[in-house]
């Protein structure tokens, strides 16, 4: 008897997010999940690099998730680099070519296309970095904070 295993969209999202965060950590970044940005949008992953660079990753769990969620260009003003993260079986040809591309599962990930770097202005970088540090400290203290 064959048994089909069905993986739900939230399970795919969790797995891809975990793998992308593990990849970013291995690359020297400090990632935070579910970060509300100053424009009201929410980044699936926001990571601070060793030189202060800010990387945002948008996780896409499937075709429908990508097609109905067109807000990703609104993340670019709040990061130096932006990438999509998808599961290995995601049809990557439907994604735009400009952002970076990470393929990930619950164990890790790989960068298939480097994210284009567009450095933030100094004042915005400072404000985002301070907000990121405060958010990370609040979360470490057990406070359920999400906003920058």
pLDDT tens for each residue of 40-98: 999 999 999 999 999 999 999 999 999 998 889 999 999 999 999 999 999 999 999 99
Provide the pLDDT for residue 141.
Answer: 92
Burial 9-43 (b: 16+ CB within 10 A, else e): eeebbebbbbbbbbbbeeeebebbbebbbeeeeeb
Tell me if 77 sits within 8 A of 61, measured CB to CB. Answer: no
Angle at the Cα of 126 from the Cα atoms of 22 and 39, rounded to 5 degrees = 75
pTM of the model: 0.91
Provide the pLDDT for residue 3.
Answer: 72
With cut-offs at 50, 70 and 90, classify the pLDDT of residue 148: low
What percentage of the chain exceeds 70 in pLDDT?
A: 95
Q: Give domain limits for the chain.
A: 9-138
């Amino acid at each position: 008897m064959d048994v089909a295993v069905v993986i739900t969209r939230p399970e795919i999202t969790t797995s891809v997010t975990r793998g992308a965060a593990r990849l970013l950590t291995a690359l020297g970044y400090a990632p935070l999940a579910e970060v509300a940005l100053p424009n009201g949008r929410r980044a699936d992953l926001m990571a601070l690099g060793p030189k202060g660079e800010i990387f945002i990753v948008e996780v896409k769990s499937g075709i429908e998730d990508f097609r109905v969620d067109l807000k990703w260009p609104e993340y670019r003003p709040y990061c130096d680099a932006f990438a999509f993260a998808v599961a290995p079986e995601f049809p990557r040809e439907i994604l735009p070519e400009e952002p970076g591309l990470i393929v990930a599962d619950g164990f890790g990930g790989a960068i298939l296309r480097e994210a284009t770097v567009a450095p933030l202005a100094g004042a915005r970088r400072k404000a985002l970095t301070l907000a990121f540090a405060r958010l990370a400290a609040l979360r470490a203290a057990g406070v359920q904070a999400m906003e920058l």
